[in-house]
Structure formats: C-alpha cells, structure tokens
Amino acid sequence: MLTITDLVKRYGGGDPVLKNLDLTIEGESVVAIIGSSGAGKSTLLRCINRLVEPTSGSVVLNGTELTKLRGAKLRSARRKIGMVFQGFNLVDRLTVMENVQSGRLGYISTWAAIMRRYPKEDIRRAYQLMERVGIAHYADTRADQLSGGERQRVGVVRALMQDPDILLADEPTASLDPKTSEQIMGLLRDLAGELKLPVLINIHNVTEAKEYTDRIVGMRYGRIIFDDLPGKLDQEEMDRIYSGSPHADRSGDLQEAS
C-alpha cells in the first residue's frame, strides 16, 4: 500500500508544484493520473521514488517512510519501485538482455554486473517476462534496433525484473502510435493483475485512462481535484481538470480548489 500525506514540492523559490497532496493506492489497482501539462503528474511520480526530492510531506510504501531514506537504504527501497518512462530510457548500445538485467542491478554485485554474469534465476525470469510481452527473440539485439512499442516492452520488463511492490509509469504511451499505445496499456493492466501489482500511470489520453484503469485521479496545478471510478469522469469533471491556466491557479484563484 502506498500512502502519500501532505506532500509538497517546490522548485527553487517559486510556487509549489505539489500543494499538500494526499493520495492512497491500495491493493493491486491500476490508477491513472490525468491532468494538463504542468499539473505536477511527473513530479508526483518522481517524488515517490525520489528522483525528485520532496520539499515536505510523507510517502510511505508498505510501512517504509521513503522521504527520509539516504544512501544504501534509499537504493534498496528503490529496488521495490519499478518505473516505466515516456522516452523508454533504455541504454541504446546494450542488448535487450543487458537492458532487462539492469533492472536487477540493485540485487547483484557490481563485479557480476560488469562481467555480465547474471544469476541463473534472473536469466530464467528475464526470458519468462520477455516471452510474456513478446520480445524474447530480441534478447541479443541491441536496444536501438527495436521499434518504439518493442522498446517500451523492454522498459516494462526491466521494471518488472526489479520484483517491484509498485509500478510507476510516466506517460508510458506518449511516444507511441495509437495502436501500440493501446497494446502497452493493455499489457500494463494485464501484468498488474497477473503479478498482483499496483500500477500508477501518468497519462494524457483520457480515453485510454478510462478504458484500461480501475481508478482515475485528476490533478490540476498541484492538487488532486478528482478521485473516483473511471465511469464517474464526465464532461463537467473533465472541464474542471483541464480548464484554467497555471498562472491563474498559482496566483490566488484558489477558492474552488481548497
């Protein structure tokens, strides 16, 4: 279970990007976070695994407070948080297998990693997952030889190799064509069910969010202003989430949000 309490993130001395945000993710649900660009979706996700340092507040994953961790403790907490990126963030010059195994770096020694001597069970698990998403035949192919959809599958498998307690996906389909994008969303939903894994997805495509997720969280300039079943997201709510300008919201027009 992931519990975010009173989370604030402020870059430099400006207005906060996240304003006293509360969010709880339970069980194995697939949750979509929607909202216009600049609403703080990416920052929220990155505050969870501390790629972005929260200014204040608390993030608790299965009883572990993440915001106070440092060094080795932070790294071992990160092992349990898988992340999928918009730009896939693969290492282009490494093979698919090496990219996939890089999800296990937190578990193996640096020497074993450099020598590419992966544990047998990791290799077996990698083949299983690659088979599951349909990229097993690419194991020895360099990552930059793959198409966008295939590259994102590598990204998903890398995250799952971590044996995570939660999966974060930051616009996982924004760089993909519509058809591939639906395949990836379907894959994320199915894998969440199979692996009993909660998944938190930032997404721009509201239609996909409604179709593939169990719950939708609507963000508007640092606040959550909608949190309900996909069926409850009607046009009026949509307008509320996507209307307004960052400037108006940040400089005093706060009555409706608070």
Between β-strands 166-170 and 2-9, what pairing exists: parallel, antiparallel or unpaired?
unpaired
24 lies in the site for other proteins, by CB under 8 A: no
Contact 94, 142 (CB under 8 A): yes
Residues between 93 and 122 with contacts to other proteins, criterion CB under 8 A = 93-94, 98, 102-106, 110, 113-114
With CB under 8 A as the contact rule, which of the stretches 69-77, 173-181, 206-214, 231-239 interacts with other proteins? 69-77
CA distance 203 to 41: 9
- Using CB under 8 A, which of the segments 16-24, 88-96, 188-196, 206-214 binds other proteins? 88-96
87 part of the interface to other proteins, by CB under 8 A: yes
Tokens of 96: 């698919």
- DSSP one-letter code for 108: S
Taking the least distance from each CB to other proteins, the nearer of 123 and 206 is 123
Q: Judged by CB, which is closer to other proteins: 12, or 71?
A: 71
Distance CA 92, CA 90 (A): 6
Told to check if 30 binds other proteins by CB under 8 A, we report: no
CB of 28 to other proteins, least distance (A): 21
Let me know: does 59 contact 91? Beta carbons within 8 Å.
no
Query: What gap in Å lies between CA 111 and CA 249, rounded to an integer?
Result: 51
Instruction: Compare residues 151 and 223 and give the one whose CB is closer to other proteins.
Output: 151
Minimum gap (Å) between residue 171 Cβ and other proteins: 13
Under a CB-based contact definition with an 8 Å cutoff, are residues 61 and 2 in contact? Answer: yes
Give the residue with the Cβ less far from other proteins, 90 or 133.
90
Q: What mask of x and - would describe binding to other proteins in positions 129 to 158, judged by CB under 8 A?
A: --------------------------x--x
Cα–Cα distances in angstroms (integers) from residue 39 to residues 100, 117, 217, 255, in the given order: 31, 43, 12, 17
Q: Of 200 and 224, which has the nearer Cβ to other proteins?
A: 200
Least distance (Å) from other proteins to the CB of residue 12?
20
Strands of the chain (E only): list them.
Answer: 2-9, 18-25, 30-34, 56-61, 64-65, 81-84, 166-170, 199-202, 215-220, 223-228
Residues interacting with other proteins, by CB under 8 A? 49, 51, 75-83, 85, 87, 89-94, 98, 102-106, 110, 113-114, 155, 158-159, 162
